[in-house]
Amino acid sequence: MKTSSGALAHRLRQARAVALRAQLALTGAQILFWVALIGAPVGLALRARRRRARRELPRSGGAPPLVN
């Protein structure tokens, strides 16, 4: 009887480990989804802002750009 109860406990631990791994994978997928959902519009807005700022800079004839 001890062998079957030990085997049952082992199977339950295995099932728990599989469930935890699946839950972790789902959580990771959700985090990636939300990061992409928020990051894409923010990235596009920053790119547009950078382009607009570059267009508004006064261009001097032959002077090289200032480097910090």
pLDDT digits (tens, 9 = 90+) for 5-53: 999 999 999 999 999 999 999 999 999 999 999 999 999 999 999 998 8
For tokens 């990061």, name the residue: 35
What pLDDT is recorded for position 53? 87
- Report residue 18 as tokens: 């599989």
For tokens 């972790």, name the residue: 24
Rounded distance, CA 41 to CA 46, Å?
9
Q: Which of 38, 14, 21, 28 is nearest to 6 (CA)?
A: 14
pLDDT tens-place string over residues 49-68: 999 888 887 665 566 667 87
